[in-house]
Amino acid sequence: MTTTRSATCAQDALGRKDGTLSCRVLIVGGGLAGLTLAARLGKAGLPVIVADRESKKARAALPFDGRTTAISFGSQQVLDGAGLWRPLLPDAEPILDIRIADDRQPLFLHFDHREMASESDGAPFGHIIENRLIRLAQFAALDDLKSVTHLAPATVTAIDRTDEAVAATLADGTQIKAEIVIGADGRGSMVRQDASIGFRRWRYNQHAIVCTIAHAKPHAGLALEHFMPEGPFAVLPMTDAPKAKGAGVDHRSSIVWTERPARADYFLGLSVADFNKALNERMGDYLGRVRLLGDRFRYPLGVLHARRYTDMRMALIGEAAHAIHPIAGQGLNLGLRDVALLSELLIDRARLGLDLGDRGLLATYERRRRPDNATMLATTDLLNRLFSNRVLPIRAARGLGLEMVGRLPPLKRFFMRQAMGLGLR
Ligand SMILES: Cc1cc2nc3c(=O)[nH]c(=O)nc-3n(C[C@H](O)[C@H](O)[C@H](O)COP(=O)(O)OP(=O)(O)OC[C@H]3O[C@@H](n4cnc5c(N)ncnc54)[C@H](O)[C@@H]3O)c2cc1C
């Protein structure tokens, strides 16, 4: 769908007159968080416009980001509420076990999803899904929702918020009127900047190398996180895929390999054969021989936390509000918790026929989401600092910590609840 401005007074296919569109909720940014919010609101019949500066074609392409996401048990419920879980299920690999190992120490922690059966009815810890496939499911779901207009490519360049309404302008001059604007536009959020909301930010001296591998043995649903001095090295189970050539399937896993930036340059610069050699050395033989499938991607790692999530007729969700270290695979899961609460508040108010830009609603959202996000941000930051070093007393404390978690069932349960996105209890 394009956003080319129509001739004045003519009504175009999107129903805009004089280049103006109207909706109740405008979502700036159609990343994984923004599109999930659009689908949840659209399922409730709310008129929504979601605008993203990238075309759908570019975002659906294989080399777009190469990433997978660990969708926690809690996030699965959010996607289900948006009508997205069922179409994703065939491409979702269950995480049945999690193993955490520390550098070269013999101790490791093992979490088995069956230990949580009383709370989760035997459900896995979560599922690994390719981001590209989540996006495709989102595009298809939005196409079926009559009250949602998905504009892409469409860059929001200006936002004017008053007591009465929101008016946004797209790069092509189209005007959009709404009761509330949601900033789902990622770390560099223009919605956040437009509201002059400051943020705390720091960068880690770490880059993540992300790629998909094929391996000889099946992974049996095991997610492995190996803490190395340079940062975590994660091997996440993916669905099998038909082999590119010949019969049979490739067993697949997703790799998130953290390195210092210069070492990341080195590994990314290796030939495929040498990279495969380095991978096999790093992984040992628990999956048999491994080899790279497709491209390698690089992500510099850092943290960002907005000082506020709301302003007049505006709320931030996902990475526009908070971005964390991927050490625990929780970034999008937090964004989906934002989506769950905000959609519930907006849908309840819409049912009562009330203004969606209400200050009370915004205050509730801020009050209930900030502590959860701040806690996860601090926890993942601490974990990364604790594990990504060789300092001897810290290594000893880590060993003790792993042993304690392994031996104390309530503590172990606490970590498993976090992994499942079930929150504090
Ligand atoms: C290596 C790595 C591994 C990760 N693994 C996991 C994991 O296992 N589990 C997990 O939960 N999380 C994980 N994350 C985090 C997760 O990927 C992100 O939190 C999530 O993708 C952020 O989604 P978002 O929709 O908030 O933002 P984004 O994906 O950044 O989307 C923002 C969108 O806004 C659009 N946009 C920006 N400005 C404008 C504008 N002015 N007008 C219109 N559109 C605009 C952009 O085009 C973009 O599509 C990982 C992150 C990394 C780096």
Which pLDDT tens digit goes with each residue over 364-410?
999 999 999 999 999 889 888 887 776 666 666 666 666 666 666 66
More confident residue, 414 or 206: 206
Q: How far apart are CA 164 and CA 313, in angstroms?
A: 9
Q: Does the residue 223 lie in any domain? A: yes
Q: For ligand 1, is residue 184 a contact (CB within 6 Å)?
A: yes
Q: For ligand 1, is residue 338 a contact (CB within 6 Å)?
A: no
Kindly report, residue by residue over 88-138, the tens digit of the pLDDT.
999 999 999 998 887 766 667 888 888 877 777 788 989 999 999 999 999
Distance 29 CA to ligand 1 centre (A): 9
Q: Does the residue 248 lie in any domain? A: yes
Q: Is the pLDDT of residue 146 over 50?
A: yes
Which ligand 1 atom minimizes the distance to the CA of 154? 43
Q: For ligand 1, is residue 256 a contact (CB within 6 Å)?
A: yes
Beta bridge partners of 297: 210
Distance 32 CA to ligand 1 centre (A): 6
Nearest to 84 by CA among 146, 150, 132, 40: 40
Nearest to 155 by CA among 29, 28, 53: 53
Mean pLDDT, rounded, for 161-181? 97
| CATH code for the domain of 298 | 3.30.9.10
Q: What distances in angstroms separate CA 252 from CA 88, 405, 425, one per listed residue? A: 17, 30, 35
Host domain of residue 241: 204-302
pLDDT score at 393: 66
Q: For ligand 1, is residue 319 a contact (CB within 6 Å)?
A: yes
More confident residue, 274 or 230: 274
pLDDT score at 397: 67
User: Structurally, how many domains does the chain consist of?
Assistant: 1
Mean pLDDT, rounded, for 335-341? 98
Label residue 5 by pLDDT band (50, 70, 90): very low
Kindly report, residue by residue over 259-300, the tens digit of the pLDDT.
999 999 999 999 999 999 999 999 999 999 999 999 999 999
Query: Which residue, by CA, sits nearest to atom 37 of ligand 1?
Result: 185
Distance 225 CA to ligand 1 centre (A): 22
More confident residue, 406 or 236: 236
Q: For ligand 1, is residue 225 a contact (CB within 6 Å)?
A: no
Q: For ligand 1, is residue 325 a contact (CB within 6 Å)?
A: no
Q: Does the residue 89 lie in any domain? A: no
Distance 406 CA to ligand 1 centre (A): 33
Q: Does the residue 48 lie in any domain? A: no
Which ligand 1 atom minimizes the distance to the CA of 336? 11
Q: For ligand 1, is residue 33 a contact (CB within 6 Å)?
A: yes
Distance 210 CA to ligand 1 centre (A): 15
Nearest to 178 by CA among 21, 408, 404, 287: 21
Q: For ligand 1, is residue 97 a contact (CB within 6 Å)?
A: no
Q: Does the residue 39 lie in any domain? A: no
Distance 257 CA to ligand 1 centre (A): 19
Mean pLDDT, rounded, for 149-168? 98
Q: Does the residue 158 lie in any domain? A: no
More confident residue, 129 or 73: 129
| DSSP state, residue 132 | H
Query: Which residue, by CA, sits nearest to atom 35 of ligand 1?
Result: 29
Mean pLDDT, rounded, for 240-264? 91
Return the best residue to mutate from 319, 325, 342, 380 for the ligand 1 pocket (most ligand atoms within 8 A of CB). Answer: 319
Query: What are the structure tokens assigned to 344, written together?
Result: 């519930």
Q: For ligand 1, is residue 311 a contact (CB within 6 Å)?
A: no
Q: For ligand 1, is residue 155 a contact (CB within 6 Å)?
A: yes
Kindly report, residue by residue over 13-71, the tens digit of the pLDDT.
455 566 799 999 999 999 999 999 999 999 999 999 999 999 999 999 877 788 999 99
How close are the terminal C-alpha atoms of the chain, in Å? Answer: 45
Beta strands in 171-321 (DSSP E): 175-178, 180-183, 199-215, 222-228, 231-237, 241-242, 249-259, 290-306, 310-311, 314-316
Which ligand 1 atom minimizes the distance to the CA of 155? 42
Q: For ligand 1, is residue 421 a contact (CB within 6 Å)?
A: no
Return the best residue to mutate from 35, 54, 67 for the ligand 1 pocket (most ligand atoms within 8 A of CB). Answer: 67
Q: Does the residue 44 lie in any domain? A: no
Q: Does the residue 213 lie in any domain? A: yes
Query: Which residue, by CA, sits nearest to atom 41 of ligand 1?
Result: 156
Mean pLDDT, rounded, for 73-96? 95
